[in-house]
Amino acid sequence: MTKRKIYISGPMTGKTNLNFPAFHAAAESLKEVWIPVNPAENFGGRQDLGRETYMRADVRLLSDCDAIALLSGWRESRGARLEYLVAQEMGLEVIHQVSDRWWSNQAPNETPAWVAMAPVNTMILTPLEA
């Protein structure tokens, strides 16, 4: 089976080290089944560019993905909320991180039917077939 791309979205602004460790941990846990697209790796990890520069790059990356992985705390992030809305409009699969587990809904544009996935630290995550 061909791996699909998944964009990692979550809070950065105001977090220690821009929350990069959480993004890298998520990428590591997803890479067995998905091709993670990690915005913490944009621009070689630089943290000195304007917000608009990062958001433009992030939306371009997201638009080339099949799914979005939402890190814990994403609702408190203006950028992650925007990325979620873009993903919804594009019909991407949505994966949520809740505690130490990933959860997915198969129909992102409908009322979620939640399906439990393996714990993040023992990831056996299979992309859901459309």
Ordered by where they begin, the domains of the chain are 5-122 (3.40.50.450)
Say if residue 125's pLDDT is above 80: no
Encoded tokens for 39:
């915005």
Average pLDDT, the chain: 80
Query: What's the rounded mean pLDDT across residues 82-99?
Result: 89
Q: What is the pLDDT of residue 110?
A: 41
Angle formed by the axes of helices 51-62 and 78-89, nearest 10°:
30
- The model's pLDDT over 12-61, given as tens digits with 9 standing for 90+, comes to 988 998 899 999 999 998 998 899 999 999 888 788 888 899 999 999 99
Close Cβ partners of 40 (under 8 Å, ≥ 6 residues apart): 8, 12, 18, 19, 20, 23, 24
Instruction: Tell me the pLDDT tens digit for each residue of 59-69.
Output: 999 999 999 99
Which among 41, 97, 90 has a CA at the least distance from the CA of 70? 97
Phi, psi at residue 44, to the nearest 5°?
Answer: 65, 25
Distance between CA atoms of residues 40 and 19, nearest Å: 8
pLDDT of residue 6: 96
Sheet of 67-70, strand order: 35-37, 5-9, 67-70, 93-98, 101-105, 114-119
pLDDT reported for residue 99: 63
